[in-house]
Amino acid sequence: MKAVTQVLNELAANAFEKCGYSSELGAVTVSDRLDLCQFQCNGAFAGAKLYKKAPFMIAEDVAKVLDENDIFEKVEVCRPGFINMTLKDEYLLKIASEIENDENTGVEKSEKPETIVIDYGGPNVAKPLHIGHLRSAIIGESLKRLARACGHKVIGDVHLGDWGLQIGLVIAELSERHPEWRCFAEDFSAENDSVEPLNADTLNEVYPFASAKSKQDEQFKAKAQRITYELQNRKPGYIALWKEILRVSVADLKSNYEKLNVDFDLWYGESDSDEYVDELIKVLTEKNLLRESDGAMVVDVEKPDDKAPMPPVIVKKSDNSNIYATTDLATIIQRQKDFAPDRIWYVVDKRQSLHFEQVFRCAKKAELVPESTELSLLGFGTMNGSDGKPYKTRDGGVMRLSDLIETVTNAALEKINTSAFVNGDEKVELARKIGIAAIKFGDLINHRTKDYIFDIDKFLSFEGKTGTYLLYTISRINSILAKAGVSEADAPKFEGIYSESERELLLKLVLTSETFKKALEDKAPNYICENAYQIAASFSSFYSANRIIDEQDAKKRSSWLSLVMLTRKVLLKHLDVLGIEPVENM
């Protein structure tokens, strides 16, 4: 359905046109002074310059025409030329019932759906999933859901780091521990030989061990590099072992992402771009962009107006192996072939911004995608501990994601231990949902580029801007509706607006589509968090100002219960976009 601001935009555009002015002047925005009016249009000011006429006169003309629409309670002109609009209650209620019945909860779908590839997650195979990848998963998932809610076609790709040195390190270490494995024999054959099965615990132990070893042992490091190169050149024994590492690692990753309610359409990795590397080199060669530098092949990407140094991007190293930029460029070719996307968004730590700037410039220079394709890094800041430094385990190590989830879930469990609603297994399940909501909301409420402090107590608080507060609000709504005996079959109807607090809540609910649109424009899921909080807080004021369940006036009671139901529906839509699972009771 159309967003209310869109309806008003069209009415205002027509009114300007009817008065002989350009329809483009009719942009309507939500008022920031709800005590004065609900919406406003400032087009008369721009009109004044265009038509050499006082803004007030233009505004007067337009307001008169606008006021002929019977959806307005009042259309007023304020000096020097603002047009202020307030809707009739009946009209607000009409939109409210439409939203209640709308499958997309009133969120307007784009008239020009785009194809967007979101590259997020980015875990590295063979390394345990750690909290460095948490933000990418949480933010990327929510942007994906947001863009889908707004009607776009979105493809989420996990883009595994599965082709780099970390694999070489693991294989090198395994080859020293188990030299007798067939996969290390020169005559290994994929048809006749098999590899030893691995498990997640082995991998979790081997990688950190091998990584530490390579820092002290030059020879070992060189061996790991050689193995990486041979793997990339598809040596059969290494490929077979690599597939086994991938199998174990991906299963482990999937179970962790599942806990976070994060899922990907594509489980591609850097390795999948390998078949496009030849094409990449061919294009770069044909366009005369490749240049040799110290044995490596590079592309210059600096621009005359660069303020900071912009080093050339290395496409092939001197040992002829592929690196991070190679796989990212080849992946762009792959995505262009598969989806011809309008946009590719990379949700990655902002410290990688130089890498992405180089890759994007090279991709545009080589015309791997049309000039109009948006290639953007949606960089994010760090999750810090209370000391303001990147969050660590007690002994100073990198925190594993599964440990973090467990810590928060346990804290949530402790908190709800006295809850009368649930027991046993249900309690554990409830704690899991609260824990995940706390982690995700605690992250998403911050603008993605900002660092934030991970604070379990704050995130699990029943008050303030927390996921816990939102889940609690939904659970309160559920119990109100249950007590009032509301059923889907005999749903209450909107009959009128009886108090200021409900008008305010209603208006917020009706403006949801607007918030979603802005959040997508700015790629800012924090707007969704903020809006959900504002709705929950307005609901709380409305609820404490009125005695809903015992209300004797049947029309009032019906209308209030409708509002309670709509609040739930709209809040659930917000949670859905944030990738947070709701709870029944808590």
Residue among 328 and 443 whose Cβ is closer to ligand ARG: 328
Which of residues 348 and 430 has its CB atom nearest to ligand ARG in the complex?
348
Strands 115-119 and 82-87: unpaired
Stretch that binds ligand ARG, among 52-60, 116-124, 298-306, 572-580 (CB under 6 A): 116-124
- Least distance from C-beta 127 to ligand ARG, angstroms? 8
Nearer to ligand ARG (CB atom), residue 65 or residue 354: 354
Binding mask 155-194 for ligand ARG (x = CB under 6 A): ----x-x---------------------------------
Contacts for 407-410: CB closer than 8 Å, 24+ residues apart: 407/456, 408/435, 408/436, 408/438, 408/439, 408/456, 408/459, 408/460, 409/435, 409/436
Contact between 346 and ligand ARG (CB under 6 A)?
Answer: yes
State the minimum distance, in angstroms, from the CB of residue 319 to ligand ARG.
Answer: 21
Q: Does 119 bind ligand ARG (CB under 6 A)?
A: yes
In the list 96, 174, 240, 348, the residue contacting ligand ARG (rule: CB under 6 A) is 348
Instruction: With CA atoms as reference, report the closest residue to 208 among 254, 170, 160.
Output: 170
Report residue 117: phi and psi, to 5°.
-100, 125
Residue 440 beta carbon to ligand ARG: minimum distance, rounded to whole angstroms? 20
Measured distance CA(134)–CA(443) in Å, rounded: 9
145 or 159: whose CB is closer to ligand ARG? 159
**Residue placing its CB nearer to ligand ARG in the complex, 82 or 346:** 346
What is the closest distance, in whole angstroms, from the C-beta atom of residue 331 to ligand ARG in the complex? 6
Q: Containing H/E element for 343?
A: strand 343-346
Q: Give the closest residue to 442 by CA, choosing from 522, 382, 529, 528.
A: 529
Q: Is residue 106 a contact residue for ligand ARG (CB under 6 A)?
A: no
| DSSP labels, 539-580 | HHHHHHH---TT---HHHHHHHHHHHHHHHHHHHHHHHHHT-
What are the beta bridge partners of residue 161? 124
Letter for the amino acid at 74? Answer: K
Residue given tokens 């440990």 in the structure block? 403
Is residue 124 at the binding interface for ligand ARG, with CB under 6 A as the rule? yes
Q: How far apart are CA 298 and CA 313, in angstroms?
A: 5
User: Does the protein bind ligand ARG through residue 481 (CB under 6 A)?
Assistant: no
If one asks whether residue 41 binds ligand ARG (CB under 6 A), the answer comes out as no
Rounded distance between C-alpha atoms, residue 382 and residue 396, angstroms: 16
- CA-based Rg of the chain, rounded to a whole angstrom? 29
Closest CA to 165 of 240, 209, 227: 227
Residues with Cβ < 8 Å from 230, sequence gap 6 or more? 238
- Residue nearer to ligand ARG on the CB measure, 131 or 486: 131
Comparison of 41 and 329: residue with beta carbon closer to ligand ARG: 329
Does 140 sit near ligand ARG (CB under 6 A)? no
Our finding on whether 380 is near ligand ARG (CB under 6 A) is no
Nearer to ligand ARG, 152 or 159 (CB): 159
Residue nearest to ligand ARG (CB): 122
Shortest gap between Cβ of 380 and ligand ARG (angstroms)?
A: 12
From 108, 328, 443, 576, residue interacting with ligand ARG (rule: CB under 6 A)? 328
Distances (CA, A) of 183 to 199, 233, 243, 417, 537: 17, 15, 12, 52, 61
Q: CB-wise, 124 or 175, nearer to ligand ARG?
A: 124
Which pair of tokens denotes residue 327? Answer: 């796989």
Total residues at the site for ligand ARG (CB under 6 A)?
8
Distance in Å, CB of 121 to ligand ARG, minimum? 8
Comparison of 48 and 116: residue with beta carbon closer to ligand ARG = 116
Which among 392, 372, 382 has a CA at the least distance from the CA of 352? 382
* From 29-37, 117-125, 276-284, 384-392, span contacting ligand ARG (CB under 6 A): 117-125
Task: Please report how close the Cβ of residue 239 comes to ligand ARG at its closest, in angstroms.
Answer: 20
Q: Are 217 and 169 in contact (CB under 8 A)?
A: no
Q: Does 122 bind ligand ARG (CB under 6 A)?
A: yes
Task: State the minimum distance, in angstroms, from the CB of residue 346 to ligand ARG.
Answer: 5
Q: Give me the residues that bind ligand ARG (CB under 6 A), please.
A: 119, 122, 124, 159, 161, 328, 346, 348
